[in-house]
Amino acid sequence: MKCYQLHLELVGCPFPIWRKVILPAKLTFDDLHDVIQCLFQWEHQHLFEFTVGKYTISDPPDSSISFAMLEYTTPSRMLRAYRTMLLEQIKKKGQTFQYVYDFGDHWLLQIQVEDILDRNSDEITCIGGENAAPLEDIGGIPGYLEFLEAIKDSSHPQHTMYAE
Helices (H) and strands (E) counted in the chain, each on its own, are 5, 8
Give the model's confidence band at 161: pLDDT under 50 very low, under 70 low, under 90 confident, else very high: confident
pTM score over 0.75: yes
- The per-residue pLDDT for 75 is 58
- Note whether 18 and 107 are within 8 A (CB): no
Angle at 104 between CA 98 and CA 109, to 5 degrees: 20
pLDDT tens by residue, 41-86 = 999 999 999 999 999 999 876 545 554 555 555 556 889 999 999 9
Give the DSSP letter string of 23-47. EETT-BHHHHHHHHHHHTT--S-S-
pLDDT tens by residue, 100-120 = 999 999 999 999 999 999 999
- The per-residue pLDDT for 150 is 82
For the chain, what are the domain ranges? 2-132, 134-164
* 2-132 topology per CATH: 3.10.290
Average pLDDT, the chain: 90
